[in-house]
Chains A and B, each alone.
Chain A
Amino acid sequence: MTKKILLAGAALLSLGVASAAQAGPTVDAIRQKGFIQCGSNTGLAGFGNPDSAGNWKGLDVDYCRAYAAAVLGDASKVRFTPLSAQQRFTALQSGEVDVLARNTTATLTRDTSLGLEFAPVNFYDGQGFMVQKSLNVTSAKQLAGATVCVQPGTTTELNLADFFRANNMQFTPVVIESQDEVVSAYFSGRCDVYTTDASGLAGTRASVAPKPEDHVILPELISKEPLAPAVRQGDPQWKDIVTWVHYAMLEAEEKGITQANVDQMMTSADPTVQRILGVTGEMGKALGLDNKWAYNVIKAVGNYGEVFERNVGAQTPLRLERGLNALWTKGGLQYGQPVR
């Protein structure tokens, strides 16, 4: 009898110890159900959209796969909940999704009053201008007197007015509600300039324009749109995982670890590479994960550069430049904190 009680006590104790070393409630729940529930876009080209076979594709989507690879060791163990813009925050707050990777701009009020925690920015966007090449414009500062196509009711419209006022220029807005119509108005020559987020401009030019080479996207960005994955407040360990998956993907790119060479890299002599891939050190344990967490991520989706190029990069119909999203070593803003 005493032996049984002792055994039970030992079992309880070991359980307690085990759970103390484990990750927070979100990760426990994910392990228990066996998949990550990821809030995705209902359809945004290059970031989260279903392909012809109904499989989710995109930059944000690959992040969800990466989280699954890190936590469960299997990138396919993720389910997507397409969320509309209005619904996305409630879905995260109510626990319907574990993480929201849905091109959401990180802002102060969302971080505080909506009870979200933003992970590092996985895509830096900003509002830009596209003009007809025949106008011979090379800078937004030369747009005085231009006719500008813009969608109403968004910060886009306000940023546009601010920019022209700040630079003391006149412009004629052509305000059109629907996205399709505003685009076709621009391409039919109704206005000289079309303004929206830079990624949207590039995508529109590459895939909708009758002749993409007739249009130029000007270098200036007039607003900041840092798009970041978000999690619920109150589970710091889950937030850590979401954060460090991103940094690991950046570190991997910096160190030249790719989906293709990750197995060879396991034998690399570089101590940083060894730490990232879990050959040495206890990086995974510190996050409450397997030490091969980053190896699994890179094996499944590749490093940040690969994810970018596969979904929105130069070889895709969207043909986006790395720009702000280049590594800090190449003049961009993507700066991975050290995995050590």
Chain B
Amino acid sequence: MAETGTAPGATPVARPPALAVGPLGWLRTNLFSSWGNTLLTLLILWGLWRVVPPLFDWLVTSSLVNVASSQECRGAGGACWAFVAEKWRFIIFGTYPADEQWRPSLAVALIIGMMLFSTWRGAWRPWLGLVWLGGTAVVLALLWGGFLGMTYVSNELWGGLPLTLLLTVIGLGAAFPLAVLLALGRRSDLPAVKAICVGFIELVRGVPLISILFMASVMFPLFMPAGVTVDKLLRAQIGLILFAAAYQAEVVRGGLQAIPKGQYEAADSLGLSYWQKMRKIILPQALALVIPPMVNTFISFLKDTSLVIIIGLFDLLSAAKAALTDPAWRGFYKEAYLFAGLIYFFFCFFMSRYSQRLEVELNRSRRR
């Protein structure tokens, strides 16, 4: 009776079996729960063991950073980071004059600064557009120069990261309003407006970006009278804007179609005009809905700008490729692409994470 008489609190706490809790338990439930999973776990471990140590060796242990000449790198088994040490300036700034390097550096800092500033929701006021307009103008002025003692740098010398960011930012910035108008036009009841918008979107979406750029760079000059040339960068930029607008328009249209008919009718019954209805009721909801696909097009657009190499502009990726044509540094493809890839990843990952946060914040009302 003595045992049964003890108070419940005094029962000696029996520990669960060692195989059910703690690290061992976690391993058992997550990695070795069945013979199939056990097999998979072992396979993956074997794969990691085969891949990670050699990769680490190539990236770190056997890699070379300080070499007298590229010849030293060729015999070594590891990555030649000396290539990046030698060429990072060219890859990031392209053919921009080396003495004036602070200007593109500042330009990149400004663009990144504006991007970060825009992530703060307190800045989402009409004047934010003006900030971007002014900021972009400052960036352009900085790159061109020709005043305040800064030498003039013609835009065919621009390259690398500033060029990639400028093409992206101006491209997306100019394409977005155009895209909203195109999307509204496509859903318009006015036949002429609708036909023009549908025609434009289908035409531009129906051809690859590379052919639009070819059109802008190869065909367009032949249509111009002799001696008249439109700046190459401007031609490429306009081609990129038109392309981005067509794709974004379809994304926005998706958002417009997702808004229930009741919202349109409610706005109409309040006596709002078409533009009031769109601006105050429909678009704010529609645009919040389409953030994920929109960011998707943004990210792919950032990477698409690397196609401008076909018209001879050195954006980030093309500059990395051009760096490989230096007779002394040929053949270090892996290092060049890894370096350029890291920079692209930084920007794309930032956009992706931010859009996820934004999606949560803006669609709070829809979450259940």
B97 close to A90 (CB less than 8 A) = no
- B331 cross-chain contacts in A, Cβ below 8 A: 183, 207-208
Q: Of the 9-residue stretches A42-50, A105-113, A145-153, which lies at the interface with chain B?
A: A42-50
Nearest-CB residue, chain B, relative to A54: B95
The dominant DSSP class at the B interface is helix
The verdict on A84 contacting B222 (CB below 8 Å), with A42-B318, A207-B327, A318-B327 known, is no
Q: Which of B75, B318, B326 has the most CB of A within 10 A?
A: B326
From B131-139, B140-148, B180-188, B226-234, the one touching the partner chain is B226-234
Number of interface residues of B (CB under 8 A): 45
Give the most central of A52, A55, A80: most B CB within 10 Å: A52
Knowing A43-B322, A86-B218, A180-B333, the reply to whether A95 touches B309 (Cβ < 8 A) is no
Query: Which residue in chain B gives the minimum CB-CB distance to A91?
Result: B221
Report the minimum CB–CB distance from A219 to chain B (whole Å): 23
CB <8 Å contact, B312 and A81: yes
Q: Which residues from B are CB-within-8-Å of A50?
A: 90, 94-95, 314, 322-323, 325-326
The CA of A163 and the CA of B81, in the complex, are separated in Å by 42
Which residues of the partner chain B approach A183 to less than 8 Å between Cβ atoms? 331
| Any A CB within 8 A of the CB of B45 | no
- Determine whether B154 belongs to the interface, using a CB cutoff of 8 Å to chain A: yes
Residue interface bits A184-209, CB-to-B below 8 A is 1, else 0: 00000000000000000001100110
Least CB distance from B355 to A in Å reads: 34
**Which residues of chain B from 303 to 346 have any CB-CB distance to chain A below 8 Å in the complex?**
309-314, 318, 321-328, 330-331, 333
Q: How many residues of A contact B (CB 8 A)?
A: 38
Question: Is A134 close to B, CB under 8 A?
Answer: no
Could you tell me if A52 and B87 are in contact, using CB atoms closer than 8 angstroms?
Answer: yes
| Known pairs A56-B95, A83-B312, A318-B327 / 12 extra A-B pairs, C-beta < 8 Å | A42-B318, A53-B90, A53-B98, A54-B93, A54-B98, A90-B217, A90-B222, A94-B222, A94-B224, A95-B226, A95-B227, A317-B70
Q: Which 7 A-B pairs have the closest CB atoms?
A: A43-B325, A94-B221, A49-B325, A82-B312, A208-B331, A43-B322, A54-B95
Could you list 22 A-B pairs, sorted by A, with CB under 8 Å?
A42-B312, A45-B330, A46-B327, A49-B322, A50-B325, A52-B86, A52-B87, A52-B323, A53-B89, A53-B90, A54-B89, A54-B94, A54-B96, A54-B157, A81-B156, A83-B312, A87-B218, A90-B218, A94-B221, A95-B221, A207-B330, A208-B330
Residue ranges of A at the interface with B (Cβ–Cβ < 8 Å): 42-46, 49-56, 79-84, 86-87, 90-91, 93-96, 180, 183, 203-204, 207-208, 210, 312, 316-318
Residues of B at the A interface (CB closer than 8 Å) are: 70, 74-75, 86-87, 89-90, 93-98, 154, 156-157, 159, 214, 217-218, 221-222, 224, 226-227, 229, 232, 309-314, 318, 321-328, 330-331, 333
